Each structure stands twice: as structure tokens, then as C-alpha cells.
A and B are shown apart, each in its own frame.
Chain A
Amino acid sequence: MGRYIERSEHIARYLSVNYFSSLDAPNEISQSRQFVLQSMLFMVGSPVDDKTHKLQEETILYKIGLDPAYDFSIINNVKHARENANSARDLISTELYEAINKFYHFTLNYPKEVFVKNGLYDFTTNVTEMTAVLRGKIRGTLLHDAVYAIIMLGMNIERATQIIRIINAKYHDALKAQGSYGDKFSKSFEWTTLLKCAESYDMMRRLYKKTPTSISTLEFLILNPNCPRSIMNCLNQVYNHIKILHPSNRYDNQSTAFLIGKVRAEYEYKLVEEIEGNIQIFIEDILHNLTQISLKIEKEFFSF
């Protein structure tokens, strides 16, 4: 449930931020509608291979937002979140259940024509706001016990995964849409978009006080433990919540908690310079680690 809620939010935000920031982007490529639509498809895991193929804006928006035929669509994520909530209905609070249900009916009943014509902003804003409400209800109305820990585990693993996917997508975009002077890749406008997609732009400015570059952006979004959207922060949270499910001083090296601790320790002592040189490998690496953690959790806590 935590995973689906988190995922729907990231997709909604990615759609909205990319679409609207492209409207005031600095150069032709980053303004191009094709470029933005391709980036959206890349982010949800359905990249376009044939670059000459012309994408229809309305079709793509519908596909990612409201098309029940695609697993990655926002509507399907909300459906899954609600399905999970249904099966755990006795464990979660009525307030949380009703909020999820309201969210579900909102997405289900959102008129398709309005969404693709002029509802993109309205729809995605509502989705992000409703997910914020859900997070509030989870934190504020559930008992902070194993159920809460499982939801939060899902949420944080998913957040780390989505942030890394967004980094991946924007990294590719930055390669294509480079800046106009100096180190063109490092000064691409796409780093700003990336931070906005993670709702971290303002806080990044507050910390670094400079225009985002590749290195400062990656450091902030991956390694800074105080940034609530950073990979490091997510891993710390995951580690804290696994300890609720499996309290122990010393973990057996086959346990999920051991694996999480190991991955966390690796990033805790990593330098951004080590990442910057081979971003692609790093991205694949962290995705692999996150998948391993998910599989282990499933095996240890969900299959009896």
C-alpha cells in the first residue's frame, strides 16, 4: 500500500513538473513537446525506442494518467493501493481507509477528456495533495507497530526507487538537453527540473545557495541524510522500520535487516565524486540493491 501511494505521487509530480517546466525551459530541445513526452514514458519504464515516431500528447497523458490498460498508470496504482487497503481494512484506521477510498473514487471518476485537454494540473495537484493527506493519516492515525512499519518500509523503498528512476530519466535528458556555456552537461536546466520533480528545489537552494549543477544535485538527492527525499534518508528510514519488525542487537547475515544495514552503510560513507564519474553504473547498482531488499522482505515477512 505504501509503495503504491508513493508511486502514484511521484508519477503525478513527474508529469506535472516536466510538462510545465518545459514551457519555460531555456532551449529548443528542452522546450520540445516530444522530448517531454519521451521523458515521461522513460520514467514510467516504457521508453520509446523509435525516436522518429511522433508521440501524441493526449494519448501519452491518458496512458500514464488514467488508462487502466497500463500497469504503470496512476489510476492503476491508486487501484492497487485501495485493493491493499481493502484486504487490510481491519488493521488500518477508518480515517485512513476513507481517505484512500475517496482518493480512489476521485481518480476513477476523473473525466478523461478534461484530464488530457486542460485537467493535467488540476488532476496531478489533487493526486499529490491526496497522497500527502494519506501520509498524514498513516503517521497520525495508525498504531506505530508492525503494520505501520510495513507501510513505511514500502513507502521508503518506493521513494528511493522512484527518486533514482527520476534521476535516471533526468540524467538522460541532461545528456540530450545540455546547457549553453561552460560544462554543458553539468549546467543543464534538467537538474533544476529534477530537483523540482523531487520537490527539493527550494531546500537545495537554501543549502547550496547556487544554481544546481550535476554534482550538487546528485549529492543532495542521493547522499544528504537531511533531505527527506534523498536515497540516504530513505535507507535510514527503511533501517529504522525493519528494526520494528525484527528487533535484535545482532542480525543473522541472511536476514533482511542485515542486508538493509549493509546497503545503508555503503552509502553512508560514499563520496559524490565516486558517483559522478559513472552515474549509470551507480543507478543500476542502487536499483539492484533496492530490488534485493524488496524480495528479501517479501520472503521473510509475507510468505508463510
Chain B
Amino acid sequence: MLTKFYLKTKKFPNKCKIFISEAPKNRYLLGKNHFMTNLENQIFSSYQRNPELYDEIYDQKGDIKEVYQKLFELYGEHSIEDYVNLNAKAKSSFFNQGITFQVYGDNDSKEKIFPFDLFPRIIAPEEWDIIERGAIQRSKALNLFLWDVYHEKKIIRQGVVPMDLIGSSVNYLDKMNGVDPTGGIYNHISGTDVIKHNDGKYYVLEDNIRCPSGVSYVICNRTALKRALFGVFNHYQTHTVTNYAENLLELLESVKPKGVDVPTCVVITPGMYNSAFYEHSYLAKTMGVELVEGRDLFVENDFVYMKTIRGPEKVDVIYRRIDDLFIDPLEFRPDSTLGVPGLFAAYKKGNVTLANAPGTGVADDKAVYTYMPEIIKYYLDEEPILNNVYTYHCSRPDELKYVLEHIPELVIKPVDEAGGYGISIGNRLTKQEVERVKIEVEANPRKYVAQPIMSLSVHPTYIDESESFEQRHVDLRTFTVMGKDKEFVLKGGLTRVALQKGNLIVNSSQGGGSKDTWVLKK
């Protein structure tokens, strides 16, 4: 049970509701004064809720949602001091697990961890069902779209999407034209970023089907939370996230080349200085396959081999974490030292499978995104399960005109960038900046799309500086694995948090943190 306190403060006159969980009974026995001090020390005692934002743990009436109640009580029992300790414990778990990145200073490089929030996000089974079905639907539709644009291009000929969409895309690989990937799968692994808007509905922000990363954080976040607060899991039936690797391996084996009985799968990485190396090694280890670099492989008579101390070993399936243009210096960038000469020729002959297939980038282009409802309808004859954010194409003259006139109300995004780079959020720009964006968009309209500013839902997040919980915007990256007659969505996903107050960009490269995400069992 919760006690509600309505207080007025200078900052949020009339708006601020403060919720305090009921203190254990014995605290009452200690007398009123003592009780009050305890309240001040409890971590939720200063949580300020701005009712204009959609808060994940409150319903519309301002009560804690049912799924969060127990958790709220459990966390509410901790004093600030306890919580600071637990936080330190979780941090050391990340250091010991080696989930760190380097920050280079003047003399020495420092290791840092990605900020992790101990208060998990909970997704109820019925909500998850929508996300899961939606993610599979999108992945399937994108796969059919990719097959089509690299083969007959019916969708363009029938005028559902414009020719220009792929004709001008830098990620369209001409060399993939007419190539049949094994099992007909292009996007074996997809990462779909979804948000909840203030209307309470889920929207897809973007599809990532080149080399989506982040899945290892999902698993490590869970490990860190289990280590620090194992007791909370007794009260919730949460789906595991540790089965990702086995599903990924099953997928990779399902797309083995013809004639192979027991396939040899490998993960290829750019090397240990890549920022996602931890993830590459984690996936290789948990799948029990070799992690290789380009120099560990070679091609002979259009078959791929791995060098071992016992001689060459044939490789059948490669989970690649190297970008398209670097996989084969003979076909793409000649200066690439990360790839394997001759790999693409072996791939075209069907002697080796690459996951994801080269050329998938054309479909996670932000301009293609805007046609997703049409693409889903065209290939699957279904209505989209997850909403798309309405998008203005700057390449269309009338829409460009609208965008140029309404920049302060829109988010302007380059179509071919990842990691949150190059995004301008209209209401955060100064007048001069608005002018600058206008000039850029006008000069290169194909490069930009614009969307109304979505209000990402917020979630209580522990903020180190203020030693209390505050509202922060969150999104969710889901991971979908698709093979021959197989699809799997990891029941969990990476909830990313924008740690700066009011910030809407959650990408880790922009100073975002993350949360463990619980999908509850039905």
C-alpha cells in the first residue's frame, strides 16, 4: 500500500505529487519524528512527476501501475545510503565482467562503464505480445522487400515505392543484384527501436538491420541486477534473456550452405579495439564458436577456410560484425584490411553464408522507414502492428516546404547515419541554428527526413548527482533473429535511458545509459 502526499513546491506549483512508500511498521513505533527522518532518506521521497510526460510506472490517474507496485515497495525500503552501496556493487560487477570502454586522456586512458540503472523497466505480457508480433512482422516484410529490390523490383515497378528510394541510397549494393542468399534470408538479425509516445502506444523509431549491437548489454544488465538485488526476482516471473546465443546459433545453422551436414560457424570481428568487441567475443563464447578476424580466414577455389594449428578448416556460416564495404577488398574497398579477399565470390556461389547478408543497409535507411506501412501491406497483406512515426520526405517538394516552415516543431534526421549523429531537435535549436539546418536541408533534401517531435515515455532513473530518482526518457531496442522456418525475439531488450534531463537522444554514443528490461511471464 502506498501513501500519497501532495506537496506544493516552488518548482512545480500544483503539479508535484510526491509518493512515498509506506515505511515498515516498526518505524512507526519509533515515534513520529524518527519516521519523518526516514522518509527523507528514502530514495523515492523526492521523485517529481511531471504529469505532461508519460511515466511508465504510473497510470493516468497517477497511481502506481499494478506490475510496478511490488517493485516500488521493495526499492522504497532502501535508504539512500543502501542504494548508493548497491549502485557501487553493480558498477563493480560491470568492471569485473569487463563491460567497459576506453576514454583516452592526456597521458593515460581510462576505463569507463556504460551507465546502468538499477531500477528495471517492466513490460507486461500483453504489451510485450504486441512488440514481439510487430517486430517479427517488420523483419519479415523487410526481408521480402530486400529480396524484391535485389531481384525483380516489383514493388518499384508497381509504383508502391519510388525508384529514387533505392536508386539514390548509398547502402544499395549493385553487386547483390540477382544473388540468392541461402534460405532466402537477408536480415538474420534485426534490432528494432521502439518508443512509447504520450498516447501510450508503441511506435517504431527505426529498424537496424546491418549489424545491430547491444544484445550483450541486455544479458550483462540482467547479471548485474541479479548480483546486486537478487531478492527482487523472487517476486516476479521474468523471462530469461540468456537464451539469445543458443537461438542465434540455431539460426546460423539453419542457413548453412547446400550439401553441408554439420556446419562450422564463426563470428568475424574487426578486432579487439572495436568498441563492440566485447559483444563479439561474448557471442562467440556463448555460442561456442570461433571468433576470427579477417586475417584468420582465407579463400581457396571459392571456399572459405580458417587457419588453425592443425591446418585449414572449412567455414560454412559467418556471423559478420564488419560493415558491407569492408568484407572483401577485392570487391569493395580495396584498402580494407579487415575483410577476406575472395569472400564475396564464395558467397555469391553459395559456398558460405553471411549473416546479415551484404546490402541489407538499403532497407534500414530512414527514407525506407517511412514506407514501412506500405511495404508491410504490400508483401504480407497485413496492417502494421507497430505504428510508424509520420515522416516528411524532404525529397518531395511540398513536404520539403512544410519542413522548412516548421523546423521548430520537428526532428530532422539524416537518412543514412546511425548512433544518433546528425539529429536536430527543432524545439532545442536557437534561431541561428534553425537557419543553418534550413540551409543544409535545402542543399541536400534527399539526405533528410523530418518527424514530429515524439514525446518518449519517461521512467524513474537513479541520478548519481542528486542521489535520487528522477524522470528520464527511455526507448527500447528489441532483437529479432530470423532463420529458415525460424523466428525468435529476445524477451527483454535494451532499454536505453537519456541521462541528461529532458534529453530525447538515448544512444550510448550520446551519453545514454541503460536499464534491465523485464518481460513478465503470462
Residues of chain A having any CB pair with chain B under 8 Å: 68, 86-87, 89-91, 94, 97-98, 101-102, 105, 146, 245, 301, 304
Contacts A/B (CB < 8 Å), 5 sampled: A87-B272, A89-B98, A90-B267, A98-B98, A301-B309
- If A68-B108, A301-B309, A304-B307 touch, whether A90 touches B291 (CB-CB below 8 Å) is yes
* Residue of B with least CB distance to A109: B95
**Most B-side CB within 10 Å, residue of A94, A146, A301:** A94
Fill in one digit per residue for B275-291: 1 if any A CB lies within 8 Å of its CB, else 0: 00110111011000011
Asked if B37 is at the interface of the complex by the 8 Å CB criterion, the answer is no
Instruction: Indicate if the CB atoms of A97 and B309 lie closer than 8 Å.
Output: no
The CA-CA distance from A105 to B295 in the complex, in Å, is 31
* Residue of A with least CB distance to B108: A68
- If A146-B309, A301-B309 touch, whether A105 touches B96 (CB-CB below 8 Å) is yes
Fill in one digit per residue for B456-490: 1 if any A CB lies within 8 Å of its CB, else 0: 00000000000000000000000000000000000
Besides A90-B282, A98-B98, A101-B96, 11 more A-B contacts (Cβ < 8 Å) are A86-B98, A86-B277, A87-B272, A89-B291, A90-B280, A90-B290, A91-B285, A91-B291, A98-B96, A105-B95, A304-B307
Main secondary structure of the interface of B (DSSP, over half): helix
Please give, as numbers and ranges, the residues of chain B lying within 8 Å of A301 by CB-CB distance: 309
Please give, as numbers and ranges, the residues of chain B lying within 8 Å of A89 by CB-CB distance: 98, 278, 281-282, 285, 291
CB neighbors of A among B399-437 (8 A) = none
Instruction: Indicate if the CB atoms of A245 and B309 lie closer than 8 Å.
Output: yes
- Which of B97, B108, B295, B307 makes the CB contact (< 8 A) with A98? B97
* Total residues of chain B contacting the partner, CB 8 A: 20
Please give, as numbers and ranges, the residues of chain A lying within 8 Å of B282 by CB-CB distance: 89-90
Q: How far is the CB of B203 from chain A (nearest CB, A)?
A: 37
Q: How far is the CB of B279 from chain A (nearest CB, A)?
A: 11
The CA-CA distance from A89 to B291 in the complex, in Å, is 9
Instruction: Indicate if the CB atoms of A102 and B96 lie closer than 8 Å.
Output: yes
CB neighbors of A among B265-313 (8 A) = 267, 272, 277-278, 280-282, 284-285, 290-291, 295-296, 307, 309
Instruction: Indicate if the CB atoms of A90 and B284 lie closer than 8 Å.
Output: yes
Please give, as numbers and ranges, the residues of chain B lying within 8 Å of A101 by CB-CB distance: 95-98
The CA-CA distance from A94 to B93 in the complex, in Å, is 13
* Residue of A with least CB distance to B287: A90
Q: How far is the CB of B309 from chain A (nearest CB, A)?
A: 5
**Most A-side CB within 10 Å, residue of B95, B278, B295, B296:** B95
The CA-CA distance from A86 to B280 in the complex, in Å, is 11
Please give, as numbers and ranges, the residues of chain B lying within 8 Å of A102 by CB-CB distance: 96
* Residue of B with least CB distance to A92: B285
Fill in one digit per residue for B79-106: 1 if any A CB lies within 8 Å of its CB, else 0: 0000000000000000111100000000
* Residue of A with least CB distance to B307: A304
* Residue of A with least CB distance to B272: A87
Q: How far is the CB of B267 from chain A (nearest CB, A)?
A: 8
The CA-CA distance from A163 to B277 in the complex, in Å, is 37
* Residue of B with least CB distance to A247: B310
The CA-CA distance from A146 to B308 in the complex, in Å, is 11
The CA-CA distance from A60 to B282 in the complex, in Å, is 40
The CA-CA distance from A158 to B98 in the complex, in Å, is 26
Q: How far is the CB of B171 from chain A (nearest CB, A)?
A: 29
* Residue of A with least CB distance to B308: A146
Q: How far is the CB of A301 from chain B (nearest CB, A)?
A: 5
